[in-house]
Amino acid sequence: MGEPVRAYDVYAEWEALPAHVVGEVVHGQLYAQPRPTLGHSQASSTLGEELGPPFKRGRGGPGGWIILDEPELHLGPRPLPDILVPDLAGWRRERVPELPHAAYFDLAPDWACEVLSPATQRLDRTHKRDVYLRERVKHLWLVDPDARTLEIFRLANDAYLLVATFADDARIRAEPFDAIELELGLLWAR
């Protein structure tokens, strides 16, 4: 039986991962997965394309957000923070007036979106969700391209409240982006 991995070894392993692997450190444990499937990428990219103009740029919507694909987040106490890479994340401009000139964010987002896959859904629904809760991320979306569903969670006191679940080709309004209607079917189009 080997010796337990010391925390700094986990960070060294994380830094040494090849470019084609997505690595995250959650509660001191390294999780590494290959890059997502094309269906996963389709859902994530399309959602970012739909939210960007009205919320990031203010075209056809209220603006006021920074929305990024796969930002690296270093959250929690130093020197051993959790390192997460959500599929999409957004910060209200009132909290982040301009994009920092840095390799990662150490400020929790206002909204995080995880696109689930068979390889990541357990981590996304448990440990990563726990970190988002600890860091008081106000809105969490879980997109499942295989089930063709979108689950919307809102921070309520010290727990996430499931606000709504949408499926298939529904046209929806989902907080915090309910100023526009989203055509959910676009996320599944191939």
Domain containing residue 145:
36-188
Per the domain annotation, does 28 fall within a domain?
Answer: no
Residue 147 lies in a domain: yes
The CATH number for 141's domain is 3.90.1570.10
Q: Which residues pair with 24 in a beta bridge?
A: 31
Interval 165-178: pLDDT, tens: 999 999 999 999 99
- Identify the CA nearest to 17 among candidates 3, 36, 30, 29: 30
**Model pLDDT for residues 19-45, shown as the tens digit of each residue:** 888 889 999 899 998 877 788 888 999
Q: Answer whether residue 72 is part of any domain.
A: yes
Say if 31 falls within a structural domain.
no
pLDDT of residue 8: 60
Residue 137 identity (one-letter amino acid)? V
In the block, which residue shows the tokens 């209200």?
92
Q: Report if residue 83 sits inside a domain.
A: yes
Distance CA 2, CA 54 (A): 52
The CA-based angle 53-58-59, given to 5 degrees, is 55
Q: Determine, yes or no, domain membership for 159.
A: yes
**Is 27 domain-assigned?**
no
Q: How confident is the model at residue 163 (pLDDT cuts 50, 70, 90)?
A: very high
Is the CB of residue 136 less than 8 Å from the CB of residue 154? Answer: no
126 assigned to some structural domain: yes
Count of structural domains within the chain: 1
